[in-house]
Structures are given as structure tokens and as C-alpha cells.
Amino acid sequence: MWSQSWVNIMDIVKPYNKSSIDVTEKMVEKGMQPVDMAKIAEEFFVSLGLTAMPSEFWSGSVLEKPKDREIICHASAWDMCNGKDFWIKQCTRVNMEDLVTLHHEMGHTQYQMQYKNQPKIFRDGANPGFHEAIGDLMALSVQTPHHLHGIGLLDQFEEDEEAEINYLLSMALEKIAFLPFGYLMDLWRWNVYKNKTNPDTYNCDWWDLREQYQGVSPPEVRTEDDFDPGSKFHITTNSPYIQYFVSSIVQFQFHQALCITADQFDPANRVGKPLHKCDIYRSHAAGEKLAKMLQLGSSKPWPEALEIVTGKRQLDASAILDYFHPLIVWLEKENNKTKEHIGWVRDKSHPPCLRTKTKKSGSQSNSNPSITFILGVFLCAVSLTKLDFFLVN
């Protein structure tokens, strides 16, 4: 709905007719259950010398959609702040997407366990983007065809250039397509806070950003009677979003640095040891470096934490370019062949959103302003004392 992942168009845009790395079918065939998927994720962390999930994780977590009650199924990870109860909640379906999500959530759990000995105030990510990046970092290794083959989820895979381009394109449809969306979510929200976007322009300002950054438009004309930003969980639950954008960049920085540590990537030999084939599985050296950073929690400024793993103190998107290098070269060649227009042009005759409102607004709310204020103060107080939780994007 939000075009935050484009991987579902892979079957339409797939460049070469090679076997897919979507292991969903295999998972179903094996009769895999959500708990088996969580064990796969746990085993990856443990292989790096990181911590196994405690028994409280297995008894307290919700890994399947309960049959006896309604719950909010949006996946999240919870630190109950007593040093032993670390839980996740995920209505796991048996498919590859949810396997990746399980790694994402368990990345939060691993972070929480690593910094559990810090004073409460520092039991957090170096910045919120770091917290979102850890599980995704693991998934970058787990998703490689070689790794999936090794853990018995992929029978055979080709290792030629065509299969590699297919693989990198599917990763790009996930990771690159996310960047503009990850950015515009909070851009829209910050414009609301700045009164640059006001209630009369909520929806069309949203679609302006969607078109400008993502190059997408709605399937039918929208108006100010609609509130499309509200379709996104993080808008209606007031959950910040910029961390997912930061995470998308920093996870590749972590991956690049740890792959060098694990001797799985050689910047001087990108053909022999390319970044997209790196799998840090079983590298205790990589795990040790990562643990050192995770254990800091938020007790040091994030550039110091970043430096432990990467040797650098700044966010840097060049690791993404490194990872996708073969795909970039291939795309340039293909686009040249077809003289493809790069980018998109706004079709002014078909505006995606009409700045009109037919229904009356402003008078529907009967709420008493002072009650709203007291409720706001109460919710603030609750959030200050609440448990730490992290969500999936």
C-alpha cells in the first residue's frame, strides 16, 4: 500500500529466468513452524558468539497469532527491564518475509540483552537507527543463496552472473526502494509540526512527497476527504520513523565492516570477494566487535559506537554502492541500450490529489480541550515510565 517495498514486482521485472531465492515454498514443504523460524534466527546470533535467547524469551514471546483473542499483530520487541524478560510479539506466517522479520525483531532482543547491565537510562540503542539495523544486518548474510543452501532452505542455486543480477535486483527492490519512503514519512510529519502542512493539506501534501521522492501516484484521484498517511501504523501510533531510514544506511556500513573482519569481503578484490556474497555466519571476530558496540547501549554518543565497528564516525551511504555495484553497472548498460528515461515527470493533467474537501471539517470533535490536555499529560507520564519496545518498519 505504501510502496515501501517493491519486491512483490520481482516476477514482472526479473531480468533472467533463473530459480528464485524465495524459500517460502521450501519452508512450507518442510512443515516449518514459527518457533523453528525463531530457532534459525537465534542460531545465527549464537554462531557469531552472541547470546542465545533465554528461557523467558521462549515462554513469554508471542510467535503466533492467538486464536482466542484479538491482538495488534504489528511485530515488536519488548524489554521488560528486569534483565531477563525479553520478548517479541509477531503473528508469524511461514514465509521468507516473516523469517527476515524474525531476524529483525531478534536483533532488537539481542541489543537489549547486550546492554542489560547498563544503568536504565543507557539501556537503548546508540541512536534509534542502530536499534533497527542489527537484525537487518544479520538478514543480509542469511538471505544470501549460499547461506540459505547451507541451512537446507535452498536445494540448488546458480552462481553465475545472471543469477547474481536477479538476486541483487530483488534486494534493491527491498532496500533501495525503501529509502525514499523511509525519508518522506517523517518529512511529512515534521511539516505537520512546523505548520507547513495543516489539516486542510494533510492528504495532498502527502501525495506531493510520494510523487517527488518515490515517483508513485495513487491508483485513483484522492482528495482532502481522504487521510492516506493514516493508513500507516507509525503515523496513527505516533511512532517515529526516521530511524528506519538511518538503519537502511548504517546496516550496510556494519555489514561492510564486519565482512572485512570476517574475511568475507575484500575491497581490493571486489570480483573474487564481493560484498553481496558475504556471509558473516560463524565469525566470532565479527561477533566480538558487534557485541562491544551493542554493550555500550546509549552510554556514548553514536559516532563513538559506530567507530567501534566501522572505524568511521559518520553515516556513509557508500557501502550501499559497494554492495550493489554489479547491479549498478548492469542497469547503466541496460538503460543505455533502451535509452530509458531516468527518473519521472509529473503528469500535470492528472493530479494525484485534489485540494478539495466536500465534507465539513473541524466541528466533528466534541472533546473538551482541558480533558484532552490532561489525557495528553497522562499519556506522556505513562510513556516516560513505560517499557522499551521496538517495531518493524
Binding site for Zn ion (CB under 5 A): 132, 390, 392
Q: Could you please report the per-residue DSSP string of 294-319?
A: HHTTTSS-HHHHHHHHHS--S--THH
Q: Give the residue ranges of the annotated binding site.
A: 104, 108, 132
Nearer to Zn ion, 111 or 183 (CB): 111
Min dist CB 144 to Zn ion, Å, is 22
Nearer to Zn ion, 77 or 353 (CB): 77
Catalytic residue check, 146: no
Neighbours of 18 (CB within 10 A): 16
Min dist CB 313 to Zn ion, Å, is 24
65: CB partners within 8 A, 6+ apart: 71, 73, 91, 92
370/367 Cα distance (integer angstroms): 9
Min dist CB 391 to Zn ion, Å, is 5
Min dist CB 355 to Zn ion, Å, is 35
- Tell me how long the chain is: 393
Min dist CB 243 to Zn ion, Å, is 8
**Catalytic-labelled residue, pool 42, 105, 164, 174:** 105
Burial 137-173, CB ≥16 within 10 A → b, else e:
bbbbbbbbbebbeeeebbeebeeeeebbbbbbbbbbb
Q: Give the residue ranges of the annotated binding site for Zn(2+).
A: 104, 108, 132
Check residue 160 and report its DSSP letter: S
Closest CA to 221 of 354, 347, 344: 354
Nearer to Zn ion, 148 or 392 (CB): 392
Nearer to Zn ion, 213 or 233 (CB): 233
**Catalytic-labelled residue, pool 234, 284, 307, 325:** 234
Nearer to Zn ion, 78 or 323 (CB): 78
244/108 Cα distance (integer angstroms): 13
- Which three-class secondary structure string do you get for 114-141? HCCCCCHHHCCCCCHHHHHHHHHHHHHH
Catalytic residue check, 234: yes
Which grid coordinates are listed for 332?
547503466
Residues with active-site annotation? 105, 234
